[in-house]
Structures are given as structure tokens and as C-alpha cells.
Structure 1
């Protein structure tokens, strides 16, 4: 069963980056008066939409959860995505969030927990955190076939229905690079997009992994409106490794231009292996707060 129009054909990373570079060159060549006029109509990310996915901060969180949240709030972050509780209960984390003025918008919960008897408690914990969306962070490797992703799509619809009935938002899925692979002529990620109910299932698109896997985030925003309420925003260094947002090769301005069509409401910074998590937090926030697109 297909719930949306035909799947988007993935672009190569080279084509995506090449198009972005071409767009930047064209803008640079425009007359200064035209650029000034255009600047008045450019979008910016709402300050309330700039968040931190807490996996980035896992090392300092393990040492001082409350103090880490305080520092993120001082930098300017408004929201967080929870990924690992470091021994704290959902209620304790909610108390620390409230004390620092931060707001949880989602939590990553293992697929096997959500598809099993742990689902009611996971949804109750989301309420406690004050978050809206349960997120499947990844699918088991054994499911990385068309049949496996179709099985997951059916489970996603069921979990999404339970989430909505519990007064929460849609179930979201967080992608990695291999989710964008073509297997037996079918792009795995597109199976999830096409065969889940848009009212029950959305996507937390990790733009780094999408580009790494050969997909173009902007195409997904346009071809599948309102399916992408949250993003993981991480940058790619020239060698393909992770980079602080704004310091790598991804053209976020071009990528985010149709983000409103995709329904994006949260831009969550992530870096999988930061040398200095707080430097990454400061650098990435500064770039996103200043970005115009």
C-alpha cells in the first residue's frame, strides 16, 4: 500500500554538492542591489527551533547532566532531543529541563522497545519529559531488505497510531546512510516514506547521513510535504567525516530553502564524535542563528 506519491529518486552526493556550489556562485555574481533586496525576504531559523540532540553531549552529560543543560541554555539553545538518560528518570530530566528553561521535543527509543511491551511506558515517559515525538533511531541490520523495510513500515503505522491515541505526535524515524541504499532495485528509505501513513508516521531526517547515502534532503521536502518535522543538522568535512555545523561542505542554505514545505519545525544540532562538545555546540548554534536562506 502506498500513502504518498511516487518515491523520490536519490541524487548522488556529487550532484547535490555541485548544485549547491552552482547556486552559491550564481548568488555571488548577482548585483549588490539585487542581493540586498533578496536579503529582506530570506528566511531564518526561529530561535525556538534551534535545538541540540543530546547524543552530541553524552560525555559531559554523564559527568554533570544538569550543568551541561545549563551551558546549552546559556549558548542559546531552546530545545533538546533526548538520547540516553545517563541513569536519570524521565521525571528527573524533566525537572532539570524546566530549571534551565530548555524543552524536550523528542526522545530516541529503541525499535524493539516501541514494537514490544515497552511501548506504553515509553509513551508515558514522553509525556513526563514534555516531548512530542517518539523516534526510532535505527532499524536492525537484518531488516535492511525491501521485505524488512515493509515489515517495519507496518510496525511504524501501528506504533504511530498508539502514539497519537496517547496524545502525542507522530512516530518519527531517524535515518543513516545505509537506509538510502537501493536493494533489488528499491530504495529502502523510500519504502518507509511511501508505505507509512502520513498522519501517523513522519521522519527526523539526518541531513548528513542523507547526503552521505546519496540522497538530496531538499527533494524529499518538496516531494513529501509535511513529513519532516525535525532534522538532525550535522556537517560533512571534505574527507567525509563529521564537522561542526557551518564548517564543512554541505550547503545548508540551499538545503533548507524548501524546509518549510517539508514541515520542518526543529533543527537539532548533532555531531557524532566531537573533540570538544561545547565548542561544537557554540560553533553550530552561532552558524544556525546567523543563517539566512
Structure 2
């Protein structure tokens, strides 16, 4: 990226941050989890590791992928999580990311992709430039202890191949992963029956908390296994909210960064009314947060 582009991004980041403090950011003072706790601590989310899952802006990516990526770069995001390529080849999609000044850190791939031509998927991941390949969900037919043990074995094989290719293999949770079936928490099966050298986790903080589980407890039980956070907030009624405008105490969670092993902080909102407004509000929270 040219120095002019960098200067423009810095200007936009400062302008948006000031606007958040003076305007939209005022909403943070209206009883949100972050505003209700003092901004103590010397640490911040590393700016080069503030990202957004492109699923958040999927409605815009369908019609104008380059313009949408450019807008995310102008907001200040450094990285993205890829959620499909919208009809583009890996090379074309990488070129669009490069033009926007964004780095893809992960790509979501289905279980069917794992079971298909996995080497091709790993090759495509290298073209995109990602660090991690992530299975984002499991079908309901596998929501049993037996199903999760089967998947754990498949993940082991896929994760071994990913490691040999210089990539991390991760699984992204939803609330159903925390179901207790026959006395076993399904998510725990994946953690206990896979090797940390081959399989780790993109923990979706919203879905873990929505299911009634504390991410910090998982960090203590399985240290170092959560290199990616899906940073998603939860409204008082349980619906999705922009980061910093809901009830989740991100400071408390982020303080355990070393225990968790987190490297990437990836914003997501499943149902934003205005995707770019949501993206901007969440970015401003992570940019200004101290913990």
C-alpha cells in the first residue's frame, strides 16, 4: 500500500474514532457492559490483528465485493476472515484484498470441503494468504457423542495435513456445540480427543456465553487452544449486538489473552441492520478498548 493510502487510512481511523467518542460512541455510556466498567489496564487489542468476518457484510459482498472490502479497509480493519469468495477465484479474491489493504487471516470451509479435495482447499488457502482454515459448523446429524468423536478423528487427519502445509486447523463453535448429551458436553469431546498440535479453536464468544458457558473457564482448562476470537456482542434479550453495545465483558475475557493463546480478534455480527455501520461501531470499540 502506498504512503498516501496509509495516510488516508490513518486519517479515516482518527476521524471515525473521534466521531465514535462524540456521537455514536456516546451510546457506550448508556449502560453497556464495557462502559459500566472502568477502562483500566495498559493493554489493547493489537491494531494489526483487528479483523472482521466477511459474513457480517455478506449482503454487500454479493453486489460489490471490491467496494465493500475497500470500505472495511477505510474503517481501519487490518484483517478479515473469509466466508466464501462470491464467485471469484482465490487469485482474484486475493487481488481484491490486496487492493483494499486487507490481510485474510482465516477462511471458513465446510465439513464437506474437509471430506473432499482437502489438498486443493489447502492450496487455495495459501493463495488467499491465510494462517488458518476453519470449519464453521457441524450438521445436526452429528450432534451426538458418537458424531463428535467421528468428527474429532476427521479433524485430526485434516489438521495434520494442514500443519504439514504450514496452516492451522480450527473449529468454530455455535451454541449447539455446548449441548450435554449422555452426560457429555459435545464441545469438550473435540477438545479432549484432538491433539493441540493438529486441531485448535476459533471460539465464538457470543455463542459460548449464549449457551451458558464462560470462555475464561475454557481457557483455564485448555490453555493455548484458542488462537482466534470471534468477537460478537450479546444484547440483554439474547440477540446479536455490535461489539461494545451489549452485555459481554470483553475486558475480562481479553485480559486472559496469554492463557487463551489468542492471536486474532475477528468481529462478527450475524444480522446487522446496516453492515458497514455495524462494522464501524465494532471497530471503534476494539480500537479504543483498554484492559
Report whether the alignment pairs 1:128 with 2:124.
no
TM-superposed CA distance for 1:24, in Å, is 9.1
Gaps of 5+ in 1: 1-20, 29-34
Equivalent position of 1:267 in the other structure: 265
CA distance, structure 1, for counterparts of residue 93 and residue 47 of structure 2: 22
1:183 to 178, 181, 184: 181
- Residue by residue, what CA displacement relative to the aligned partner does 1:198-248 show, whole Å, maximum 9, x if unpaired? 000010000000001111111112221111111111111111000001001
Structure-1-length-normalised TM-score: 0.85
Equivalent position of 1:95 in the other structure: 95
- Residue by residue, what CA displacement relative to the aligned partner does 1:157-196 show, whole Å, maximum 9, x if unpaired? 100001111222x210000001011111000000101110
Equivalent position of 2:274 in the other structure: 276
Equivalent position of 1:74 in the other structure: 74
CA distance, structure 2, for counterparts of residue 59 and residue 140 of structure 1: 24
CA distance, structure 2, for counterparts of residue 171 and residue 228 of structure 1: 11
Equivalent position of 1:138 in the other structure: 137
Equivalent position of 1:232 in the other structure: 230
Q: Cα 1:236–1:185, aligned 2, differ >3 Å: closer, same or farther?
A: same
CA contact (8 A) 1:143 1:149 kept: yes
TM-superposed CA distance for 1:84, in Å, is 1.5
- Residue by residue, what CA displacement relative to the aligned partner does 1:53-74 show, whole Å, maximum 9, x if unpaired? 0000101111111111111011
Equivalent position of 1:153 in the other structure: 152
CA contact (8 A) 1:208 1:235 kept: yes
CA contact (8 A) 1:208 1:233 kept: yes
CA contact (8 A) 1:218 1:259 kept: no
Number of aligned residues = 260
CA contact (8 A) 1:203 1:227 kept: yes
Instruction: State the 4+ residue runs in structure 1 displaced beyond 6 angstroms.
Output: none
Q: How does 1:1-293 map to 2 (within 5 A)?
A: 39=40, 41-116=41-116, 118-168=117-167, 170-293=168-291
CA distance, structure 2, for counterparts of residue 165 and residue 272 of structure 1: 33
Q: Secondary structure at the match of 1:63?
A: coil
Structure-2-length-normalised TM-score: 0.86
TM-superposed CA distance for 1:115, in Å, is 2.1
Gaps of 5+ in 2: 1-32
Q: Secondary structure at the match of 2:287?
A: helix
- What is the root-mean-square deviation of aligned Cα atoms in Å? 1.7
CA contact (8 A) 1:104 1:130 kept: yes
